């Protein structure tokens, strides 16, 4: 799996002018770029350039304009606009097609619609706010504006149906490794889809799929990360946290975090597709919270089990050592520790 990163492909095929303007400013590294140079590089008039810069200003980008020198990019907003996420993104597929919404019901609903309309693997939907954010097992996901990463990624792996839950674990490793690398925070994975800091949930993963017979058509991988939330509604206050709360009010910027996450997710996804789950399993286990600890697994439509979590199997199911020495494989459950 190699080739040009997707932002280089855009350069060749020239898609969105605003994306290209931002890339030129990024390359200028804080120096002035003349209107003439911009219009020559992009093949459009200086009036058109001025119009695009006005639109970028309205989105929160700050430019200094000086006669005879041109424009200088002073500040970019920390709103993960598609142009921002795609600028310099070092991936082959993930994020090459990115859609940003101020408000959506759920990024999952949007990615499902795009998938059904034939969107390519790697398509990403990001929202600043979700008003009907979805959690696992029919729960809702609190997604207020400006405070988190609410994102869905479309994958089209050639995978047997029973292996699909492994992708939740692949995503968990990508998120943990990215956040640890970017913030140093000691995130841990609680099987199957929770990422915790100091015992509270900071991130959740929702993996939904469409399949025909036992062939996967696509996977909608939903990722929710509480980045800068300062507080939570009372029903979540004891169980949820954010990166900012855990760093005494210091929140990482969302856009670079999303970019790094897409790069890491693609790296691990390709590794998984090429080498299978055995290449991911030790990395998952290295960040697993409950290995060797007593847990209670509340299964839907099945008895609740208590035992010691001893690992995961090759399919990604949780292995539970029972009191009588038997090992149970848990495929879906809510886990309580202790």
How far apart are the C-alpha atoms of 94 and 5, rounded to whole Å? 10
Q: Which is nearer to ligand BTN, 106 or 241 (CB)?
A: 106
Going through the chain in order, the beta strands assigned E by DSSP cover 62-66, 70-75, 98-104, 124-130, 148-155, 188-190, 194-197, 200-212, 215-226, 294-298, 305-312, 318-321, 327-330, 334-337
Min separation Cβ 304 and ligand BTN, Å: 19
Structure tokens at 71: 């424009």
Structure tokens at 80: 């993960």
Chain centre to alpha carbon of residue 235: 25
Q: Which is nearer to ligand BTN, 105 or 313 (CB)?
A: 105
Is 130 known as a binding-site position?
yes
Residue whose C-alpha is closest to residue 93's, from 127, 124, 125 = 124
Q: CB 317: neighbour CB atoms within 10 A?
A: 20
Structure tokens at 86: 């795609």
Min separation Cβ 45 and ligand BTN, Å: 40
Q: Which is nearer to ligand BTN, 34 or 109 (CB)?
A: 109
Q: Which residue is nearest to ligand BTN (CB)?
A: 204
Q: Which is nearer to ligand BTN, 107 or 241 (CB)?
A: 107
Min separation Cβ 52 and ligand BTN, Å: 30
Structure tokens at 260: 């790094």
Structure tokens at 176: 């943990």
Q: Of how many residues is the chain composed?
A: 338
Structure tokens at 116: 């059904």
Structure tokens at 195: 């990422």
Q: Which is nearer to ligand BTN, 53 or 221 (CB)?
A: 221
Contact 312, 320 (CB under 8 A): no
Min separation Cβ 133 and ligand BTN, Å: 4
Is 275 known as a binding-site position?
no
Q: Which is nearer to ligand BTN, 205 or 209 (CB)?
A: 205
Min separation Cβ 338 and ligand BTN, Å: 20
Min separation Cβ 179 and ligand BTN, Å: 15
How far apart are the C-alpha atoms of 174 and 259, rounded to whole Å? 12
Tokens 């919270």 -> residue: 289
Tokens 């038997």 -> residue: 326
Min separation Cβ 112 and ligand BTN, Å: 10
- The site for ligand BTN (CB under 6 A) is made up of 106-108, 130, 133-136, 139, 141, 143, 150-152, 193-194, 204-206, 222-224
Structure tokens at 204: 């959740």
How far apart are the C-alpha atoms of 44 and 128, rounded to whole Å? 31
Q: Which is nearer to ligand BTN, 133 or 316 (CB)?
A: 133
Min separation Cβ 135 and ligand BTN, Å: 3
How far apart are the C-alpha atoms of 194 and 110, rounded to whole Å? 23
Q: Which is nearer to ligand BTN, 141 or 272 (CB)?
A: 141
Would you list which residues are annotated within the binding site? Answer: 130, 201
Would you list which residues are annotated within the binding site for biotin? Answer: 130, 201
């Amino acid at each position: 799996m190699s080739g040009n990163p997707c932002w280089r492909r855009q350069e060749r095929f020239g898609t969105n002018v605003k994306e290209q303007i931002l890339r030129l400013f990024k390359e200028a590294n804080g120096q002035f770029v003349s209107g003439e140079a911009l219009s020559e590089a992009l093949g459009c008039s200086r009036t058109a350039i001025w119009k695009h810069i006005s639109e970028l200003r309205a989105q929160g980008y700050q430019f200094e304009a000086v006669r005879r020198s041109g424009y200088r990019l002073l500040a970019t907003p920390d709103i993960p606009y598609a142009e921002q996420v795609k600028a310099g993104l070092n991936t082959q597929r993930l994020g090459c097609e990115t859609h940003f919404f101020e408000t959506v019901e759920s990024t999952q609903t949007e990615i499902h619609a795009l998938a059904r309309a034939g969107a390519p693997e790697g398509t990403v939907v990001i929202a600043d706010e979700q008003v009907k954010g979805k959690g696992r097992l029919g729960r809702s996901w609190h997604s207020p504006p400006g405070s988190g990463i609410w994102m869905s990624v479309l994958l089209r792996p050639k995978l047997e149906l029973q292996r699909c839950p492994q992708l939740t674990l692949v995503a968990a490793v990508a998120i943990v490794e990215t956040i640890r690398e970017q913030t140093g925070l000691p995130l841990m994975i609680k099987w199957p889809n929770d990422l915790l800091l100091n015992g509270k949930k900071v991130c959740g993963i929702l993996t939904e799929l469409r399949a025909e017979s036992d062939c996967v058509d696509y996977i909608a991988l939903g990722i929710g990360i509480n980045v800068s939330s300062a507080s939570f509604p009372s029903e979540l206050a004891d169980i949820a946290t954010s990166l900012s709360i855990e760093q005494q009010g210091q929140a990482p910027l969302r856009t670079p975090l999303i970019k790094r996450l897409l790069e890491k997710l693609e790296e691990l996804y390709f590794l998984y597709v090429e080498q299978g789950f055995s290449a991911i399993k030790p990395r998952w286990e290295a960040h697993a919270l409950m290995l060797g600890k007593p847990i209670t697994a509340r299964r839907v439509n099945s008895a609740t089990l208590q035992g010691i979590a001893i690992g995961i199997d090759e399919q990604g199911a949780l292995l539970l050592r029972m009191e009588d020495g038997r090992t149970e494989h848990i495929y879906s459950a809510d886990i309580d520790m202790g």
